[in-house]
Amino acid sequence: MTTYSWRNAPSAGYAVIGDPIGHSWSPLIQEAALAHAGLSGQYLAIQVPDLEFDSALKRLRECGYLGLNVTVPLKERAYRASQPDREARRFGVVNTLRLGDMVGTNTDAGGFLDSLQGVADEPGPVLILGAGGTSRALAKALQDAGWNVSIWNRTTERAERLVSDLGFPMTVPETPDPKGFRMILNTTSAALAGESLPIPWERADPSTLAYDVSYGSKMSSFLSEARDHGLRIRDGVEMLIAQAARSFEWWHGIEPDRAIMRKAVEHLRWT
Ligand code: ATR
């Protein structure tokens, strides 16, 4: 898929920004929805390194961009750079920006809860792996939906900061021990760095759901290890589609056809 650096990205209406960005399927999903709704406009994938976020945002606004999706590692920066709406303030994270008035919202959390329907309807104990922007939004969404949240992170202090920022009780275990959890939710970007997580899978109950918010043409090592230990597994494609649909509706005021969005990427999925 074509990706651009923010310094030489051509003018277009919409884009997803992050670093790395080449793995993103958002352009396929959003462009399918635009075409189906009869709207003109392009949606590109643009690489924006963490420390260049402010300069990139300035240039993309000058180039006439109307909206951006924001992914790893920029979601917390996007919150600070925008006027967060009520939904974004609820989670402290922005993954969708409207550049005209610089309002930011969060569609990850709602999209994630949409994706649990029919898969994990009954709340219970959940272990979230990672303590970045995605973890923050999903921890709050799960707590509000009645789940009992624990957070493990490679850097424990960051998990502790997240717990103190969110302001409700959560456990911060020292190891990612899956025993006793109804769901293990991977929000880390370890796989992007080609690394795996030190999970003692043999301690997990087979009825546990292993959910990875990432997606791709190859099953993540998190999911393949979980499957090898007999767990139920779920990748991030349904969440991707649900958050994309919510972002689309927020920008365009039109509810997109989620089946069309799904069709645009299902041939790429490992399943
Ligand atoms: P996002 O906004 O999508 O949550 P992020 O803020 O960059 O992305 O957070 C990435 C998360 O992946 C962090 O929890 C990070 O752990 P650290 O806080 O210790 O950096 C985690 N992560 C990244 N690479 C990892 C690896 N190789 N092993 C374990 N965790 C990793």
187 lines ligand 1 (CB under 6 A): yes
pLDDT of residue 170: 96
- Using CA positions, which residue lies closest to atom 5 of ligand 1? 132
Asked if 197 and 214 touch (Cβ cutoff 8 Å), the reply is no
Could you say which DSSP state residue 67 is in? E
Asked if 266 and 134 touch (Cβ cutoff 8 Å), the reply is no
Is the C-alpha dihedral spanning 104, 109, 115, 118 positive or negative?
negative
Asked if 266 and 256 touch (Cβ cutoff 8 Å), the reply is no
Partners of residue 194 on adjacent β-strands: none
Taking 3-state DSSP, the helix, strand and coil percentages for the chain, each rounded to the nearest 5, stand at 40, 15, 45
CA dihedral 262, 71, 170, 222 (to 10 degrees): 60
- Both tokens assigned to 162: 């997240």
Diameter of the chain by CA atoms? 53
Q: How far is the CA of 25 from the centre of ligand 1 (A)?
A: 20
CA dihedral 135, 138, 143, 147 (to 10 degrees): -100
Residue among 76, 128, 152, 188 to mutate when testing ligand 1 (max atoms within 8 A of CB):
188
With bands split at pLDDT 50, 70 and 90, how would you rate the model's confidence at 138?
A: very high
pLDDT of residue 61: 97
Residue 50: what residue type?
Answer: D
Q: What is the pLDDT of residues 87-117, one digit of tens each?
A: 999 999 999 999 999 999 999 999 999 999 9
Q: How far is the CA of 75 from the centre of ligand 1 (A)?
A: 12
**Residue 160 pLDDT > 90:** yes
Q: Which of 72, 117, 67, 113 is nearest to 90 (CA)?
A: 113
pLDDT of residue 1: 80
Q: What is the pLDDT of residues 244-253, one digit of tens each?
A: 999 999 999 9
Q: What is the pLDDT of residues 174-231, one digit of tens each?
A: 999 999 999 999 999 998 788 889 999 999 999 999 999 999 999 999 999 999 999 9
- Both tokens assigned to 117: 């329907």
- Which residue out of 58, 75, 140, 218 is catalytically annotated? 75
pLDDT of residue 236: 97
Backbone phi, then psi, for 262, in 5-degree steps? -65, -45
